[in-house]
Amino acid sequence: MPGYGFGYGYGAVGHARRTPLTAGGGTPTPTPTPGTALPALDAIVAHFDSAAIIPQADGSALAQWDDSSGTGAHAAQATSTKQPKYRTGGSGGRPYVEFDGTDDYLAIAAPGALGTAMDSRTYTVLAVVENAGGGDYACIFGASIGGGSPWLWAGATNIGWAAVNNGGSVVPHGAGTGYMALGMVSDTAYSAVAGASTLMRNVYRGAIYNWNISQAAATGSNAITIGASSTGAAFRFKGRIYRIIVWNRPLTPAELMQAEAYFNAAYSQTHPAVTLGRFLHLDGDSRTAGVGADGTQRLPYKLASSLGHPLGTYGVYAVGGALIAELIAKGGEVDAAAQALAGISPAIQHRLVYEEFFNSRLLAVGDQATAGTMAYQTAQYLSARRAGMPANLKIMGQSPMDHLAATSPQPTAWAAYLQANHAALGLDGLADVWASPLGGEGACPNAAPFAPWADGIHLAPEGQATQAAVIAGACAALAGW
């Protein structure tokens, strides 16, 4: 397939990601130069590009959208009344395909390599769209509906991947209209976290928003469609689709940012983090990603909103069950995304918030000199992020909150250590959750209004709001945040 270069130059990042500070080391991964080309061209198994459609009259019906990857996964619609429209004069002066939200859709009758990739549950899908404010759960691209089938969707208020509901998406879109670059990554062999070998990740403007422990299901016998559900009878998308690309492997966070920078060039967009001047990274486990079906009730959205971060200016790299050592290994991917952003604009300030390491609480508190302890591994993690991320990084940590004693040891000693030694560990600031209503022995989340979300570990929305307020307050008090 063509490389679609645009002579777009933000400049190379110029170095490889540094090896995380683990006992076994690791292989440095080069950070791609953003904006110059799409990443991993040899892994693309479907590419629907409105700019590759043979030009036709503005507003005319489009009977077939050819797959320009060369694998033959063409999307077609034989019924004239259900054909979307070919339109000109979109973002960046480019054409687009317009779906009316009533009955328009295209079906891929012979997905070939595309179907093989999706049935393997190991793939990446990215789309560039402008949503015209249609209904929620509108299908941009996917197979069937519900039941965990892969489905890239955008509605009046939401983006992301959904099974039966929007539980698969951490972040709602907000206004729901305008330019969006979004996608999903499904991975059956994620090695950085032992307990999460299957992952689903949502992507918006190049940043991963969450890593769920269940990847998108296979397509099975369901048709793959664009603009509606597999039958075309429901979940119709109203808006403009510029591009849909499917890779037969998971893209790395750095590659996702490279693709986003490329889209910026193609469609005359500025990355939101360039406009804002800063990017917020949230790293940790499932508590960091938050719980609850409504993304607005979760910790990342509440925290980012209170810090003035609109969508596209923050990412959530949270894997359920992650241990400290695993976060050190996984953190190299966070570093690579940060370096790719620095390649887009070196002036972007990077801020990292990490959850205290709940899943490693069985370790002794120890100290920075004693291998295998909480203090030692925490210092390792912070040192690795300092080495791997841009030089203008600031890191905010958190002291613990209480949990059911049957789930983890009482955290008093770890809270006291962090309060006394957070600067020596390498933190720029400490969000002292332990000193909040969430902290103290027996305080939370064992009682209302912060009652646990089903399992005694994850906070209810009220608790997540309280935690976000503590972190935001600590950030506001930190000079240069």
**Confidence bin at 30 (pLDDT 50/70/90):** very low
Report d(CA 475, CA 302) in Å as an integer. Answer: 14
Q: How far separated are the first and last CA of the chain, in Å rounded?
A: 44
Residue 384 host element (H or E): helix 374-388
Q: Please tell me whether the peptide bond between 449 and the residue prior to it is cis, using omega within 30 degrees of 0.
A: yes
DSSP readout, 321-338?
T--HHHHHHHHHHHHHHH
| pLDDT given at position 454 | 67
Task: Report pLDDT for 231.
Answer: 82
Q: pLDDT at residue 457 above 70?
A: yes
216-227 mean pLDDT: 84
pLDDT, greater one: 347 or 293:
347
Whether 406 shows a pLDDT value over 70: the answer reads no
CA 413 to each of CA 64, 101, 280, 368: distance values in angstroms, whole numbers, following the listed order: 64, 57, 29, 15
Report the C-alpha gap between 265 and 258 in whole angstroms.
11
Kindly list the structural domains of the chain, giving each domain's residue range(s) and its CATH number in brackets, ordered by start: 38-189+204-254 (2.60.120.200), 270-481 (3.40.50.1110)
Rounded to 10°, the helix 324-344/374-388 angle is 20
- Compute the distance between CA of residue 157 and CA of residue 136 in angstroms, rounded to an integer: 7
Residue type, 339: Q
Does residue 21 have a pLDDT over 60? Answer: no
Structure tokens at 191: 């090695």
Stretch 463-479: mean pLDDT, rounded?
95
Q: Is the pLDDT of residue 4 over 70?
A: no
- Select from 344, 336, 356 the least CA-distant residue to 284: 356
Q: What is the pLDDT of residues 160-183, one digit of tens each?
A: 665 444 445 555 555 567 888 999
| C-beta contacts of 19-27 below 8 A and 24+ residues apart | 19/332, 20/328, 20/329, 20/331, 20/332, 20/384, 20/388, 21/328, 21/380, 21/383, 21/384, 21/387, 22/325, 22/328, 22/329, 22/380, 26/329, 26/332
Give mean pLDDT, residues 421-444: 90
Higher pLDDT residue, 456 or 469? 469
Mean pLDDT of 5-25: 29
This prediction has a pTM of: 0.89
205-214, 223-232, 352-361, 448-457: segment of lowest average pLDDT: 448-457
151 by DSSP, 3-state: which?
strand
Chain segment 71-119, per-residue pLDDT in tens: 999 999 999 999 999 999 999 999 999 999 999 999 999 999 999 999 9
- Residue 405: the pLDDT is 61
Percent of the chain with pLDDT over 90: 57
Q: Report which DSSP code applies to 198.
A: S
Quick one: pLDDT band at residue 24, thresholds 50, 70, 90? very low
Residue 252 pLDDT more than 90?
A: yes
The rounded radius of gyration (Å) of the Cα atoms in the chain is: 22
pLDDT higher than threshold 50 for residue 28: no
- DSSP structure class, residue 116: H
Q: Specify the pLDDT at position 11.
A: 27
Task: Provide φ and ψ at 444, rounded to 5°.
Answer: -165, 150
Please state the rounded mean pLDDT for residues 183-205: 87
**Residue-averaged pLDDT of the chain:** 84
pLDDT, tens digit (0-9, with 9 covering 90-100), for 114-162: 999 999 999 999 999 997 677 777 889 988 655 567 888 777 666 666 5
Residue 208 CA to residue 181 CA, distance in Å, equals: 12
pLDDT of residue 178: 84
- The single-letter code of the amino acid at 186 is S
Mean pLDDT, residues 353-374 taken together: 91
Residue holding tokens 């403007």? 205
**Residue 7: which pLDDT band, with cuts at 50, 70 and 90?**
very low
